[in-house]
Chains A and B, each alone.
Chain A
Amino acid sequence: MNAQQRTSTYNFAYLDEQTKRMIRRAILKAIAIPGYQVPFASREMPMPYGWGTGGVQVTAAILGPNDVLKVIDQGADDTTNAVSIRKFFERVAGIATTTKTSHATIIQTRHRIPEVPLTAGQVLVYQVPNPEPLRFLEPRETETRKMHALEEYGLMHVKLYEDIARNGHIATTYAYPVKIEGRYVMDPSPTPKFDNPKMHMSDALQLFGAGREKRIYALPPHTQVVSLDFEDHPFEVQRFDKPCALCGAEQVYLDEVILDDRGNRMFVCSDTDHCESRRAKGYRGELGGAQ
């Protein structure tokens, strides 16, 4: 689409072909073993660690000239991180970008899963800061690898036990550990636990890239994803008292927005595309204004 704007001194999608092959091999292995963290030779990217270097490398490796890319940051298409990654790929790959979830073939995300269910053929790429769910209580990498290999996951429940002991309920609200196909325990990246059920049996392919930690892991479509819990403290997602103030949506994840210095605030959809498309269809929340 924007092929004429592409910066031609770079290879397609910034990375050289050998690097993309290397990353694709890691992705294939990750898909073959759902939830297993595959080490890969993460490259320096033209952005700081923590800004999505892992996600960007995965996206670059799977991107084709006909792909349509959407990038979200905390559900929003219009924040700095989302805008600059979208521009980056427009410039180095000349591909089409969109903010519409249903139009995208690849969605790179920082910490949200879109509200609209993803469909077969779509790929969701997560930016992961810390891929190791066991790190909280076990700092040794050699030990955590062994624990994954031998399926020793008692420690994960120690973390949840501590939550209940301190707060009376499981207070982990993001990066909530999940078990994949009854085998590997996985960190779903810092998405709110509200999104955990969306990972279960998803029609889309989900890829996770951690650039600084040099790990890739994946969930192929239709993979069983179970959030860990206790029998007497079952897994629950966050609930909100009010619907979205702009579009009136319920059963969606809301962000708190402070309106003034007198304690007024509103709760709006964190998924901006979802909110906009609902308003375009005429839905209104209490602060959404007249049609």
Chain B
Amino acid sequence: MNIAAPQASALQDDSIEQPLLSVRSLTRYYGTRIGCADISFDIWPGEVLAIVGESGSGKTTLLNCISTRLPPTSGTVSYSMRDGVLHDLFKLREADRRFLLRTDWGFVHQNPADGLRMAASAGANVGERLMAVGDRHYGHIRETAIDWLDRVEIDAGRIDDQPRAFSGGMRQRLQIARNLVTAPRLVFMDEPTGGLDVSVQARLLDLLRGLVNDLGLAVIIVTHDLAVARLLSHRMIVMKDGRVVEQGLTDRLLDDPQAPYTQLLVSSILQG
């Protein structure tokens, strides 16, 4: 399946009349301190949304709230399930939420050790989600794992090695394969290129961009790196002190920032 531009495909598909995920007035307090406040946005199928901002601006809190890893203080997060109906995620049963997290969603952690089973082989890491949804054929699981390792540019000969024996970049690619194996529709990424050196970062971004285009994934990516946002995302949300400062199309926002804080962010990129 080769879809040139996810946005275009989303527009062509008449059946898509509602957003995939809809966030309304989401607020999370830590005691009296604000984690993130009054945040509303929609994400549509096949769209890549970047959440940018400096450390402590509430990006990760927001990501954890919308991926149901953290309950919000107030506000709603609704998701369009495969039945086409928008469901309030925090009114679902926990079993359904967890099922969603390991089938229809993916979560790529900044530190691969948080998202991988370090004591299990690479093949088992990729195959775990398949086994969780009931695949009981070893040969099939292994075949799929080899296919996915290939797609994330890991040598199939490393399939029985543990992620401990992998470099940082390989671990991150393995984590991505592990998440995409069940063909999710929405993937959350928390600084996926953080902690990698520049050349590895570039390869990973290239890989991610290819996968997102090929699979028509919707992605919500948290990053402090504006270059990553420009390369991957269609739309951006800029956060500061837990609130949204500015949001819009990536090109528009980076080339013509309106809010003073966004202007500061954009101007603080090192010019080569």
Contacts and interface: CB of A to CB of B under 8 A. Distances in A.
A155 B127 CA distance: 10
B94 interface: yes
A162 B124 CA distance: 7
Nearest to B162: A162
Interface string A145-183: 000001110110110011011100000000000000000
A162 B133 contact: no
B138 A162 contact: no
Contact of A165 (B94, B102, B121, B137): B121
B87 interface: no
Interface stretch (A98-106, A230-238, A276-284): A230-238
A196 to B, nearest CB: 18
Nearest to B98: A150
B157 interface: no
B132 interface: yes
A137 interface: yes
Given A154-B132, A158-B131, A166 B124 contact: no
Interface string B153-165: 0000001100000
A232 B121 CA distance: 20
B127 A230 contact: no
B190 interface: no
B33 interface: no
With a 10 A CB-CB cut-off, give which of B124, B137, B160 has the most chain A CB atoms. Answer: B124
B47 interface: no
B120 A137 contact: yes
With a 10 A CB-CB cut-off, give which of A150, A157, A230 has the most chain B CB atoms. Answer: A157
Contacts of B128: 154-155, 158
Interface residues of A, number: 18
B141 interface: yes
Nearest to A150: B95
B138 A164 contact: yes
B231 interface: no
A230 B142 CA distance: 12
B234 interface: no
A161 B98 contact: no
B123 interface: yes
A87 B102 CA distance: 53
Nearest to B137: A231
Nearest to A161: B124
Nearest to A160: B138
B132 A161 contact: no
A232 B94 contact: no
B139 interface: yes
Contacts of A158: 117, 120, 124, 127-128, 131
With a 10 A CB-CB cut-off, give which of A155, A161, A233 has the most chain B CB atoms. Answer: A161
Given A152-B98, A158-B127, A233-B138, A166 B132 contact: no
B160 A165 contact: yes
B137 A154 contact: no
Contacts of B121: 162, 165-166
Contacts of B127: 158, 161
A159 B165 CA distance: 19
A232 B124 contact: no
B127 to A, nearest CB: 6
19 contacts: A150-B95, A152-B98, A154-B128, A154-B129, A154-B131, A154-B133, A155-B132, A157-B131, A158-B117, A161-B123, A161-B127, A161-B138, A162-B120, A162-B121, A165-B121, A165-B123, A165-B124, A165-B160, A166-B121
Interface of B: 94-95, 98, 102, 117, 119-121, 123-124, 127-129, 131-133, 136-139, 141-142, 159-160
Closest 7 CB pairs of A and B: A154-B132, A157-B131, A230-B138, A154-B131, A150-B95, A231-B137, A158-B124
Interface of A: 137, 150-152, 154-155, 157-158, 161-162, 164-166, 229-233
